[in-house]
């Protein structure tokens, strides 16, 4: 068990909030495959306060197995606090404050990773959110803005003093974006200066990497982001490895195709067929990566417009793999 304030989490393996990926359908898939905690895509505090329809839809947590964290981004303490109250009223079990998003359209407004350059504003945001809600408040941060301003330890200490109950450290700078190697030594450095739990994030792509992060950094839990794209199985496999020391086999091609199909059906249920089929293309590409004819299959799926078309393509792929025969030409062009 792992605890974030009053919230008990089944294990120490958490799914990272990822814009464009961790919608309701994917959260359910991740939970079903062993993630102890899932989180929404980052949600604009201002849009939530304004009641923007698309944003309110992103906040829909109905029917999901708890706990679910809601991640908010913004730069105004009053607005984020108000948004946090809305999220908590709508079922958020944890409010996470985004201090890590590196994208230009976010940081240009002083939001996301830009808060690493403004510790005073960052701490006022945490204080405001902690006062506004009764659920635990957490902070997800980068190591700093650039290599000359590594200040994750400072921000973590300030966040703890302001009432944050957990900090998550993705030890890349904003300027690194998602390139280069995550510096896990900074997770360990943060762990040494705060008393609250520290979650490590970055470059965990296998059960072995998760165990390595826990051992090298002393972090209390591991958050997996890009490593679970097309691979929700990583949570179940990692949990078994941590508990038994045995590494479970990789999922079979059939398992990957079946879960891709389940994910697609869920997405169609929640978003409607037309929108879901378009948005699922990126997920489907991850699920079939490395399988026979993956490039040709992906090209076919990118032309599909309906659930039935995608299901037919996946069924054909499954049949070819099971028969061990690619000579039928379905994906050879």
State the residue for tokens 């330890």: 153
Q: Burial, 215: exposed, middle or buried (Cβ in 10 Å; 0-12, 13-18, 19+)?
A: exposed
3, containing H or E segment = strand 2-4
Classify residue 196 by its DSSP letter.
S
Q: Tokens at residue 256, please?
A: 């990957």
Pair of tokens at residue 114: 């830009």
Q: State the alpha helices, DSSP H only, in 108-232.
A: 119-132, 152-162, 185-193, 207-217
Closest CA to 219 of 203, 233, 199, 236: 199
Specify whether the backbone of 71 is left (phi greater than 0), alpha (psi in -120 to 50) or beta.
beta
Residues 6+ apart with CB under 8 A from 167: 138, 139, 140, 141, 155, 156, 159, 160, 190, 194, 196, 198, 199
Could you check whether the bond before residue 67 is cis, i.e. omega within 30 degrees of 0?
A: yes
Residue 291: strand, helix, or coil: coil
> Rounded CA gap, 144 and 100, in Å?
9
Nearest to 129 by CA among 167, 86, 90: 86
Q: Which residues lie closer than 8 Å to 30 by C-beta, 6 or more apart?
A: 15, 22, 38, 228, 232, 235
Contact by Cβ (8 Å): 106, 112: yes
Active site residues: 101
152-162 and 185-193 helices cross at what angle (nearest 10)?
40
């Amino acid at each position: 068990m792992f605890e974030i304030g009053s919230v008990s989490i089944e294990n120490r393996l958490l799914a990272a909030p990822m814009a464009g990926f961790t919608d309701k359908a994917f959260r359910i898939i991740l939970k079903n495959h062993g993630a102890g905690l899932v989180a929404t895509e980052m949600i604009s505090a201002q849009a939530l306060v304004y009641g923007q329809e698309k944003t309110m839809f992103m906040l829909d947590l109905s029917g999901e197995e708890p706990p679910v964290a809601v991640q908010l981004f913004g730069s105004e303490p009053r607005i984020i606090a108000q948004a946090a109250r809305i999220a908590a009223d709508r079922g958020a079990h944890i409010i996470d404050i985004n201090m890590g998003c590196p994208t230009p359209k976010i940081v240009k407004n002083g939001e996301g990773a830009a808060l690493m350059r403004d510790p005073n504003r960052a701490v006022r945001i945490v204080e405001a959110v902690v006062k506004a809600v009764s659920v635990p408040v957490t902070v997800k941060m980068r190591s700093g803005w650039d290599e000359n301003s590594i200040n994750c330890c400072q921000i973590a200490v300030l966040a703890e003093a302001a009432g944050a109950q957990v900090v998550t450290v993705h030890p890349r700078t904003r300027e690194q974006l998602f390139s280069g190697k995550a510096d896990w030594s900074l997770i360990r450095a943060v762990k040494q200066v705060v008393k609250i739990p520290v979650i490590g994030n970055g470059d965990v792509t296998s059960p072995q990497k998760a165990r390595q992060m826990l051992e090298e950094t002393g972090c209390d839990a591991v958050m997996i982001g890009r490593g679970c794209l097309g691979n929700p199985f990583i949570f179940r496999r990692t949990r078994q490895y941590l508990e038994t020391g045995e590494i479970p086999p990789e999922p079979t091609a059939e398992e990957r195709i079946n879960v891709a199909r389940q994910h697609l059906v869920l997405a169609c249920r929640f978003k409607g067929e037309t929108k879901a089929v378009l948005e699922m293309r990126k997920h489907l590409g991850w699920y079939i990566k490395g399988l026979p004819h993956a490039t040709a299959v992906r090209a076919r799926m990118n032309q599909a417009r309906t659930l039935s078309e995608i299901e037919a393509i996946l069924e054909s792929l499954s049949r070819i793999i099971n028969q061990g025969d690619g000579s039928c030409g379905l994906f050879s062009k």
